[in-house]
Structure 1
Amino acid sequence: MSSKTALLEVIALGAEDAERAQEGGADRLELVANMAKDGLTPSEQTVRDVLAATDLPVRVMLRAADGFAAGDLDALRADAARLVAAGAREFVFGFLTDGNEVDVDACRALLKELDGRAWTFHRAIDRARDPLAAYDVLTELGCDTVLAAGSPHGVGRGLSVLQQLARRTDGPALLVGGGLRAQQVHLLRAGGVRGFHVGSAVRRNGWPSPVDVAAVREWAERIKG
């Protein structure tokens, strides 16, 4: 995204969410399964259904288990290949080593399957030993977006880190999400943040309920007004 263009990304769990998010004015979707584990790889059929339901860009999660270890890389690469074959063109993933550094080897192994496709490094950066140094590593890896709250405990605790990341003029675009609240948007925008990511905030009754069109519209107006 350019420095002046606001972007609203909405988490979708399926085709109904995708349709509702688009109707409300979302700019992009993050497609995941199983939010009880903070978002895992969706099925091939779900990917196909969502891509058929919307013309928004869709970033598809590659994550086999809760936590930030890559785990079985061969299985992850196989998942990536299957989802590419199903039509996925953008992805989301993020892995850390035992020392809480970006797992460069795991990322590179997965990137071979993605063949230059755009990708977001997700909130693993919030648990990195040094988020600013991690950002530099991700720049070298060719990442175009970093999803961050600035803290494992959410945006409210991570504002200082987010402000430092937002001042960067090179490298990945910053996408802020993870406990994001409406009242934080003004401060973040004033600090240079242009990308916002919401999930439960656009569902009236939490994850069991679908995306709410009116709630998405309110967020779109809030970040673009």
Structure 2
Amino acid sequence: MSKRAVLEVIALDVEDAVAAQAGGADRLELVSDMAADGLTPSAATVAAIRGAVDIDLRVMLRLADGFAAGDVERLTRAAGRLREAGATEFVLGFLDPGGDVDLDAVERVAGVLDGCRWTFHRAIDRAANRDALRKQLADFPGLDTYLTAGSAQGVDEGMSVLLAEARRRREPGYGQQLLVGGGLRLEHVPGLREAGIDGFHIGGAARPTGWEGPVSADAVGEWRRALGE
């Protein structure tokens, strides 16, 4: 069996963060505005959450819905403010209009992060060529994780891709941790664990009453038990 799995939970505020930690989350992804699939939270929110929990936090760097970088100067300023608020890990990922990685934007934002660890998020699931994107970012400073469902349609559609990528983990561009999220359900877990995948990311699955309601420590605990204590 592979090593203990990491369970990451999306948190919007302190209440979410405290419940996620109580349920056994290892890490939080901090975002705002889930109607736009998760945007950059305020520095004040990040500071408040950092003060309320002691598990790892990864903070989203994304200004608008979609996968274009947009105003890179604003992004770099936001990254600086978030670092001042106590953020040390981040989530980002930008594509150009052709679906290739926007290397200029990634380089400029990651430059401000100055070696902080970060996740390339589900923009990879919209990439024109996943393999090319991974190889372009193979040795990128700080990049240690890909958040992916294997498909833009979610884990049901992307399972074969996830299993294939897990088998390639010793190849250049495939050494980063696979963090599976996007339509992830408990019944997916055994097959993913069997393949050696050890990163799991949940959002709606941690909120029994939907995105208008808070994270449930009990729901997170169910995932923690499914993944192994």
Q: With structure 2 as the length reference, what TM-score do the two structures score?
A: 0.95
1:117 aligns with 2:82: no
Summarize the alignment of residues 1-225 of structure 1 with structure 2, pairs less than 5 Å apart: 4-142=3-141, 143-167=143-167, 168-169=169-170, 170-224=174-228
1:214 Cα deviation after fit: 0.6
Equivalent residue pairs, number: 223
Deviations 1:144-196 (A, max 9, x none): 00000000000000011111221212521100000101111111111121100
Q: Secondary structure at the match of 1:140?
A: coil
Deviations 1:60-93 (A, max 9, x none): 0000000000000000000000111111000001
1:137 Cα deviation after fit: 2.1
RMSD: 1.0
Moved over 4 A (4+): none
Distance 2:36 2:109 in 1: 21
Distance 1:147 1:85 in 2: 25
Structure 1 unaligned regions, length at least 5:
none
Amino acid at match of 2:204: S
Distance 2:146 2:103 in 1: 15
Distance 1:96 1:164 in 2: 23
1:98 Cα deviation after fit: 1.2
Amino acid at match of 1:118: R
Q: Secondary structure at the match of 1:92?
A: strand
Structure 2 unaligned regions, length at least 5:
none
Distance 2:183 2:136 in 1: 25
Q: Secondary structure at the match of 2:138?
A: helix
Q: Secondary structure at the match of 2:16?
A: helix
Distance 2:63 2:156 in 1: 28
